[in-house]
Structures are given as C-alpha cells and as structure tokens.
C-alpha cells in the first residue's frame, strides 16, 4: 500500500501529455518584461534605469524587505523602459522591459555546466548565496527560499522533504527535470543537508512517475540518509501539509508551518535552482515551463527565461489552435487564467495551459443539493458549502470560526460540485475579507 494523506482528495484526469517530451531550450526572446513582484511578499526595488546596459545575471531589482527576493536580468541587453504590464494577476504591474542585445554572445551560448559534486561553501555562505541569487519556491507559491531556510536556533528540525509530487494535471515540468537532472538534484539536496545540518531527507514522488522513482532510487543508492517515497496518485498531494502528512504521518497544526513539526519542504525545481546557485553562482533567471493543451500541435517542456512573453512560448508549440477560449498560467486546478499572451513568464510559472471551448466554460451554477461531496473531498476537513454561504451572506466572523483561513485553495470542492457552484470563488473572497478584518484589528 502506497502512502498518501488520509482525508479527502480527488482524482482529476491526469492528461500528462508532455511527460515524454524532453526539456528543450527556448530561443532567447527579443524583449523580456521582468515584473518586480514575482514572489510572495514585498516587491523588489528597481535598481536600474532607462537606457541602462545590463549583463546577463545582473541584479536589476533588489530585495525590498525580509520576505522579498532579488531579481536578475535574464538576458544581456538594454533597459528600454519601466512600464506597467498585465501579469498573471490580471492587473498591470511594474515591469522592467529589457531589449536583448543581439550581438552579445552570452545570450546565445548556453553552457551546459558539468556535474559538480563537491560542496565548497560553508552553511552561512550557502544561505547568503541563496538570498543573493533570488531563489524562490518554484512549486508555484514563490515563497522566498532564504526565509524558509532561515531556521531559528533551538527549533527542532529533523526532516527535509523534497516535493516531486506534481499532482496538478497536465504539468510535467518537475517530472522532466527529475528525469534529466537527477544527479544535480541530489547534489542540491546535499547542499541543503549541509546548510541545515540535516541527516534525513525524503523525496516524495507520485506513483504515476515510475521512471523518476526508479531513477532516483538508483542515484541515491550510495547516499546516506536520503530516501525516495513512492506515493499514491491523489490531488492535492503536492500541498505542503498533505505531503508531510503522507510521508511522515505528521500533521501540521492549524495555521502552522511544516517547521512546527520539524520539517522543511522544498520543490525539486527549487533544489535544482539552489544547486546552480551554489555550484555555479547562477542566479534564478530561467525555469522549466510546460506548455500544454489537448489541441496544441506539439506541446512540450522548455527552459524559459524569466520575463519571456507567453506568446513566444505559444509560437514555439505551433500557435494557438482554433477555438482556444482560455489560457492558464499554471496547472488547471490552481493556475490563473490570463488576459492576453503578453503576460510574462515569472518565477512561479510552472506551465501554460491552453484550453478550448468545451473545457473552458463553467457550468451554470444551480442550487446546492446538499450532497456533501465538497465536504468529503476537502483535504483540510472544511465544509466548503457552509463557508461559501457564510461569505456570500457576509458572515465573516462565523466563517473565520469555521476555519476559513485554513483553506489551501486547492479547488477540489469546486471540481466535484455536481451543481457547479462557485465554492472556491466565494471562499477565496471570504478569506480576503477575513484577512483584512484581522489586520485591521491588530
């Protein structure tokens, strides 16, 4: 019996059509639009100006506070303007627009760095390097990594969990990365083990990626303290709390963090970014993006420079098919629908999903028939139908008492609702209001 989390969860069709497609390198775009708010927390502060020449990897926006991150230029070129551009939030956000220098060789010569296993840096230096290189969680939440790794002295920490679950349908970015960079990822894990003085690491991978599981089992044979855990296929297993529960049986307390039960969780993508930062001093300026969709000509996985407009990616896979009705930044369960193809790829973009008419339309919301499906599938043990009603009626105190804030917004409730009720829409709205009320109280 494979491990999984006990309560709730759903099995949406996987549709991992790009699982066999190796990661290709995207051509360097002519123009990149780099948003300054690519991570959770305070936006970075711009340190370049119009007409400035920038080299690849140069810091163009500095971390703006404790929970913030540096942003580096993904290309060598010239800053043409500082403009407002719609990002995946649907709103115009401050961006740094850089025109790529067509003559600069660094833009076109990608050096495939050889595997480097010796870790030279000391723990303190490692953490500093991670901060400098602007590493954020690449699983989608984009939480600045140095904050997560900043463990106060005296905190019990015994496990590092590597999240290779990728439970979102369609996405295969992490899967491909695990297949192609397994050894580098293991070195990345050892870097974190050194930095955090950790002895035990578990790599969690869902059982629909059998090739990745067997590959990692082979690679870690010689390593001490690293294990691979094959997990049942169930959404949302990639959620931190669900993953910790599935692998270690520990339940993260309400409103708590995995650190409260002695665990730190990192995505495989983040680990690879950390490996590159530590061993080759390479900042986070590119990531793996799955460009997928049932009707696309040749969907695939790509190494993409941060700031690349999504239309470049779409062009790479053969253009938008006839009848496209929705573009999603991220996976189908938690991704955000985007307004146009000028939206840039950011550190949090794990995939671009192109959906046609049939799948894009939401059914008309009907009366709740009180079937309880939303309650059964909620991995957090909440009652989505109740929370939706409470936030629709404006009873935010009550919603807060019903633990609305512990919702992880996985969307399982909206997925299963036979009446197509916009459960998560209202719950998210209620969460926003409760958050506002709480901050105004303090």
Binding site feature residues for [4Fe-4S] cluster: 368, 371, 374, 378, 407, 410, 413, 417
Exactly one of 94, 316, 425, 434 binds other proteins (CB under 8 A); that residue is: 425
Which of 89/106 has CB closer to other proteins? 89
What distance lies between CA 324 and its chain's CA centroid?
A: 24
Site for other proteins in 324-363 (CB under 8 A): 324-328, 330, 332-340, 353, 355, 357, 359-363
Residues contacting 372, CB < 8 A, separation 6+:
385
| Measured distance CA(257)–CA(147) in Å, rounded | 12
3-state helix, strand, coil in the chain (%, to 5): 30, 20, 45
| Least gap, CB of 202 to other proteins (angstroms) | 13
Asked if 432 touches other proteins (CB under 8 A), the answer is: yes
Site for other proteins in 113-142 (CB under 8 A): none
Burial (CB count within 10 angstroms: exposed 0-12, middle 13-18, buried 19+), residue 10: buried
What distance lies between CA 381 and its chain's CA centroid?
A: 24
Burial (CB count within 10 angstroms: exposed 0-12, middle 13-18, buried 19+), residue 27: middle
Site for other proteins in 190-249 (CB under 8 A): 241, 245, 248-249
- Residues 36/1, Cβ–Cβ less than 8 Å: no
Stretch of residues binding other proteins (CB under 8 A), selected from 137-145, 179-187, 212-220, 414-422: 414-422
Asked if 366 touches other proteins (CB under 8 A), the answer is: yes
Site for other proteins in 263-282 (CB under 8 A): none
| Measured distance CA(266)–CA(163) in Å, rounded | 6
Per-residue binding string, other proteins, 287-306, x by CB under 8 A, is --------------------
Q: Which residues line the annotated binding site?
A: 368, 371, 374, 378, 407, 410, 413, 417
Which of 136/252 has CB closer to other proteins? 252
Exactly one of 367, 439, 440, 442 binds other proteins (CB under 8 A); that residue is: 367
DSSP at 393 = T
What distance lies between CA 427 and its chain's CA centroid?
A: 22
Site for other proteins in 36-65 (CB under 8 A): none
Stretch of residues binding other proteins (CB under 8 A), selected from 85-93, 201-209, 271-279, 295-303: 85-93
| Measured distance CA(122)–CA(13) in Å, rounded | 45
Exactly one of 369, 393, 401, 436 binds other proteins (CB under 8 A); that residue is: 369
| Least gap, CB of 151 to other proteins (angstroms) | 14
Task: Tally the residues of the chain.
Answer: 442
């Amino acid at each position: 019996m494979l491990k999984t989390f006990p309560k709730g969860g759903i099995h949406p069709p996987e549709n991992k059509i790009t699982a066999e497609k190796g990661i290709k390198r995207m051509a360097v775009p002519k123009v990149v639009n780099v948003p300054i708010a690519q991570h959770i927390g305070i936006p970075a502060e711009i340190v370049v100006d119009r007409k400035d020449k920038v080299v690849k990897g140069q810091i163009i926006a500095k971390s703006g506070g404790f929970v913030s991150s540096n942003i580096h230029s993904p290309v060598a070129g010239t800053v043409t303007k500082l403009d407002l551009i719609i990002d995946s939030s649907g709103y115009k956000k401050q961006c740094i627009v850089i025109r790529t220098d067509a003559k600069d060789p660094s833009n076109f010569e990608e050096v495939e760095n050889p595997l480097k296993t010796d870790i030279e840096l000391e723990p303190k230096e490692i953490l500093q390097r991670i901060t400098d290189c602007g590493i954020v969680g690449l699983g989608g939440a984009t939480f600045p990594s140095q904050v997560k790794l900043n463990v106060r002295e005296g905190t019990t920490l015994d496990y590092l969990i590597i999240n290779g679950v990728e439970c979102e349908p369609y996405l295969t970015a992490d899967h491909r990365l695990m297949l192609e960079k397994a050894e580098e990822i293991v070195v990345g894990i050892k870097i974190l083990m050194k930095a955090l003085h950790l002895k035990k690491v578990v790599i969690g991978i869902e059982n629909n990626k059998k090739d990745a599981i067997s590959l990692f089992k082979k690679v870690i044979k010689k390593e001490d303290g690293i294990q691979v855990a094959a997990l049942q296929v169930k959404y949302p297993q990639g959620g931190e709390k669900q993953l910790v529960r599935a692998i270690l049986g520990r339940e993260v307390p309400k409103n708590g963090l995995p650190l409260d039960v002695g665990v730190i969780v990192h995505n495989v993508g983040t680990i690879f970014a950390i490996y590159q930062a530590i061993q080759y001093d390479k900042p986070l300026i590119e990531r793996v993006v799955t460009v997928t969709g049932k009707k696309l000509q040749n969907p695939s996985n790509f190494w993409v420079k941060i700031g690349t407009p999504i239309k470049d990616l779409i062009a790479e896979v053969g253009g938008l098919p006839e009848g496209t009705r929705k573009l999603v930044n991220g996976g189908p369960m938690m991704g955000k629908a985007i307004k146009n193809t000028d939206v840039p790829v950011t550190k949090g973009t794990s995939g671009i999903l192109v959906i046609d008419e049939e799948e894009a339309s939401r059914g008309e919301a009907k009366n709740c028939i009180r079937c309880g499906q939303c309650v059964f599938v909620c991995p957090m043990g909440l009652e989505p139908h109740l929370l939706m009603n409470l936030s629709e009626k404006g009873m935010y105190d009550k919603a807060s008492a019903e633990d609305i804030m512990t919702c992880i917004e996985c969307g399982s409730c909206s997925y299963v609702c036979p009446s197509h009720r916009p459960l998560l829409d209202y719950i998210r709205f209620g969460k926003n209001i409760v958050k506002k009320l709480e901050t105004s109280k303090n």
